[in-house]
Amino acid sequence: MTTHFAFRKLLRTLGLACLVGASARAAITVTSEEMAQKDDWVQRNLLTVTNTPPFSFIYNGLPSSNLLSSWTRAQMDTILDGNRTQHALTWTKTAFPLEVQCVVVEYNDYPVVEWTLYLKNVGTANTPLIKDIKGLQTVFSRTTGSEFVLNGNKGDYCTADSYEPFQVNLTPNLVRTFAPPGSGKSCDGANGCRIGICRSRAGTIIAVGWPGQWSCSFTRDNTTKVRVTSGQELTSLYLRPGEKVRAPLMVLLFWKGSDVVRSQNLWRRWYLAHTMPRVNGTLPKPQLQIQIGGDNTNHVASFMEAGIVPDICWRDAGGAYTWYPNQKGPYTGADSCSTPGLGMLILPATRSGSNRSAIGSINTALSSCFGANRSGWVRRPTRGWESTIRNGCCNPFRGSDS
């Protein structure tokens, strides 16, 4: 890993730290029109029995939109707390071994809805082939006038324009597809990692989780509609009796007006209120991190000598085996700490003290992964941490909180 790459990781973390620690210069207020927009979408797309739900898959060659309309649908509503209501929607049919469930969480303080699709084999034999599982498939419409505009950020590919914002006018019959370049990493490559779609005086932010390589496509018709499909990029499987799979978590935030920056800050407020992990009920203070490869401590020393003392040091497993899916299985080398996916090391000391002692602390931490004393270090598998980054992007929304 080059120093340039490590420094880019530091800058990216500083952006996330600003998200955690920024104080508001002006209040971001949810409007009644935004809540009404969310309520209307949820009612039409998720809670109306006769309407097609906003997900899709192909079962034994048949699209789910054709299947589920004739299946028995059950709904169970649960109040999770003062701001969240869960709707568990389940579809079944006699003689079909498949149970389809969509677990929806609707927010009462923000114009946000999220859901996860589950497929389970409730029969006694393997299911037929199930493929093209998409957690989101829906259509957005606009009035005549301004065209749909797609707002996004590029992913990270270690260049000066990583995370650069972009806009695409969705002109009639245009198709745009976004996905990482085969790596499985959520924000890898120039093809985008944060997506929002704007209509005249309104918009929707779309987020897809990262239990597998995500994809998102926008298909514009020749009138006033755009079809949005998102989920895991490639799925083709069957389920054994009792097996259950899930699609990526999907999140939609609805906003009104023409201020895209305000919409991003509205998302950040929701993210801080409901998604950021807490320690003893309190949001973490801003953290400064760096990332290194394997046992390389030279780049760490460079940061220290420049007066940059991090709170967290991420260590890539590196080598032929990594914690990313590959045909060789999980990494089990001598530096794996016997925990596939281990990637986060938290410095035990504060920033006070000499740079040299801090370098020694990091060296100790690195050597601990090679069998030395591990006391004083917090070790977490990266997968456990990533599960909290529910939008599947390392730095989803940059900019000031205004």
In a domain, 109, yes or no: yes
In a domain, 222, yes or no: yes
Say yes or no: 215 and 317 in one domain.
no
307: domain range? 3-23+281-386
Say yes or no: 151 and 265 in one domain.
yes
Q: Give the pLDDT of residue 317.
A: 54
Rounded CA-CA distance 144/225 in Å is: 10
Q: Give the pLDDT of residue 300.
A: 75
Distance of CA 95 to the CA centre of its chain: 36
Q: Give the pLDDT of residue 10.
A: 33
State how many domains the chain has. 2
Say yes or no: 237 and 154 in one domain.
yes
Say yes or no: 205 and 237 in one domain.
yes
Q: Which residue has the tokens 């084999």?
A: 121
Say yes or no: 333 and 221 in one domain.
no
Flag whether the pTM goes above 0.85: no
In a domain, 391, yes or no: no
Q: Give the pLDDT of residue 284.
A: 81
In a domain, 64, yes or no: yes
State the number of CA atoms in the 13 A half-sphere of 389 facing the CB: 19
Torsion angles phi and psi, residue 108, rounded to 5: -100, -10
Rounded CA-CA distance 400/285 in Å is: 17
How many helices (H) does the chain have, and how many strands (E)? 7, 22
User: Kind of pairing, strands 312-316 and 289-293?
Assistant: parallel
Torsion angles phi and psi, residue 398, rounded to 5: -100, 160
Say yes or no: 294 and 369 in one domain.
yes
Q: Give the pLDDT of residue 296.
A: 61
Taking each helix axis as running N to C, give the angle between helix 298-305 and helix 3-21, from 0 to 180 degrees, rounded to the nearest 10.
60
52: DSSP letter: P
88: helix, strand or coil: strand
Domain final position from 274, 296, 316: 274
Digit-by-digit pLDDT tens for the chain (402 residues) are 343 333 333 333 333 333 333 333 457 899 999 999 999 999 999 999 999 999 999 999 999 999 999 999 999 999 999 999 999 999 999 989 999 999 999 999 999 999 999 999 999 999 999 999 999 999 999 887 788 999 888 877 778 888 888 888 999 999 998 888 777 677 777 665 556 677 667 899 998 887 778 889 999 999 999 999 999 888 999 999 999 999 999 999 999 998 889 999 999 999 999 998 888 888 888 888 877 665 566 777 788 888 888 887 776 655 444 445 556 655 555 444 433 333 344 443 333 333 333 333 333 333 333 332 222 222 233 322 222 223 332 222 223 333
Number of Cβ atoms within 10 Å of the Cβ of 215? 19
In a domain, 86, yes or no: yes
User: What b-and-e string marks burial along 168-186, b requiring 16 or more CB atoms within 10 Å of the CB?
Assistant: bebeeebebebbbeeebbb
- Which residue type, as a one-letter code, is found at position 29? T
DSSP string, 226-264: EEEEEEES--EE---TT-EEEPPPEEEEEEESS-HHHHH
Q: Give the pLDDT of residue 9.
A: 36
In a domain, 399, yes or no: no
Q: Give the pLDDT of residue 181.
A: 79
Which residue, 224, 228, 40, is CA-closest to 139?
228
In a domain, 397, yes or no: no
Domain final position from 274, 296, 323: 274
Strands (E), 294-353: 312-316, 342-346
Say yes or no: 136 and 230 in one domain.
yes
Say yes or no: 13 and 59 in one domain.
no
Say yes or no: 313 and 266 in one domain.
no
Say yes or no: 200 and 338 in one domain.
no
Rounded CA-CA distance 387/249 in Å is: 10
Say yes or no: 73 and 152 in one domain.
yes
Q: Give the pLDDT of residue 190.
A: 63
Say yes or no: 149 and 208 in one domain.
yes
Domain final position from 253, 274, 295: 274
In a domain, 225, yes or no: yes
* CATH classification at residue 165: 2.70.98.60
Torsion angles phi and psi, residue 85, rounded to 5: -125, 130
Distance of CA 272 to the CA centre of its chain: 14
Are the CB atoms for 368 and 342 separated by under 8 Å? no
CA distances from 202 to 5, 103, 136, 140, 222 (A): 38, 26, 20, 11, 21
